[in-house]
Copies of this chain bind each other. A is one copy, B any other.
């Protein structure tokens, strides 16, 4: 947590209250902060600033002198479309994509996505992963999250509007063009990554039919999580 996020309704004037157990534990044990210490805070969907701890017990922390005066960093003009990965991997991926500033995350089904992943209780925790990512990346604005459980209708009916006139790339080990070459003419605004094992040829062809360009990441095959972060690295200033 490089910033502590406050919910708008926990703020009254220049006072605020933190009830979240994870945040309280982090402030006590990792930051080692106590009464009179200043914390870096942000208001969810709002500004970033500081506040002073005025009171502290096991269940809540009271803040005073709250001053929120700084805008969160700009979001990337980037939608990441991801075949739903294993639930445990999803947590880290959503956290990292959020911390990096991805603007919209679309989770889709794919042939190689295990059907059971859609029933995982961890899928209901995405909002928590987003908060973790915002607190990691010093941001207050959650990315938009979309679930698209049906691949073909999503690609045919919704994806063309999302892409518009922009560049869209899908990572595919067997593509002729490499990612490095494709981004030389500009970064895409839509990036599509398959589950472990990648998309099947039918899925790649469907994506290509609506104008998505397939790009390889070289001869080495990466874990989905490593691949997404490696791709996002191009957006680092």
Contact = CB atoms under 8 A, between A and B. Distances in A.
A183 B181 CA distance: 16
A221 B73 contact: no
Interface stretch (A9-17, A151-159, A212-220): A212-220
B220 A137 contact: yes
A2 B222 CA distance: 10
Nearest to A220: B137
Could you say which interface size class chain A belongs to?
Answer: 20 to 34
Given A95-B223, A96-B223, A223-B95, A218 B230 contact: no
Given A216-B237, A236-B180, A236-B230, A222 B73 contact: no
A171 to B, nearest CB: 10
A166 interface: no
Could you say how many copies of this chain the assembly holds?
2
A236 B100 contact: no
A137 B221 contact: yes
B96 A136 contact: no
A120 interface: no
Nearest to A137: B220
A136 B222 contact: yes
A221 to B, nearest CB: 5
A31 to B, nearest CB: 11
A178 interface: yes
Contacts of A181: 237
A218 B236 contact: yes
A115 B231 CA distance: 33
Interface of A: 2, 73, 92, 95-96, 99-101, 136-139, 178-181, 216-223, 225-226, 229-234, 236-237
Given A99-B221, A179-B237, A217-B237, 8 more contacts: A100-B222, A138-B221, A139-B220, A179-B236, A218-B236, A226-B229, A230-B233, A232-B233
What are the nearest 7 A-B pairs in CB distance? A233-B233, A230-B233, A229-B229, A137-B220, A218-B237, A178-B237, A96-B226
